């Protein structure tokens, strides 16, 4: 018995046919981050700077409200 051929190595036409026939699920692409973690940290620091004078409870309340506003 031969080893299985990886889906990615099959010709594009055959991949499409197998997906259309429902024999194979379409492979999910790997997510690629648009921002590096350092960039995210930098933005987080800039966003939290105005809250530095608040107490922890006040910051929590403000951030919770900001998250609720962001949801819609």
Q: What is the average per-residue pLDDT within 1-11?
A: 77
**pLDDT value for 45:** 95
Cβ-Cβ contacts under 8 Å for 18 (sequence gap 6 or more)? 7, 10, 24
- In angstroms, the CA 15 to CA 25 distance is 10
Instruction: Give long-range contacts, CB 8 A cutoff, 24+ apart: 55-61.
Output: none
Are the C-beta atoms of residues 19 and 26 closer than 8 Å to each other? yes
Q: Is the pTM of this model over 0.85?
A: no
């Amino acid at each position: 018995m031969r080893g299985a051929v990886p889906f990615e190595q099959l010709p594009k036409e055959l991949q499409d046919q197998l997906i259309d026939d429902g024999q194979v699920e379409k492979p999910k692409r790997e997510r690629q981050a648009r921002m590096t973690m350092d960039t995210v940290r930098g933005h987080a620091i800039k966003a939290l700077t105005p809250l530095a004078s608040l107490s922890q409870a006040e910051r929590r309340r403000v951030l919770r409200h900001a998250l609720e506003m962001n949801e819609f």
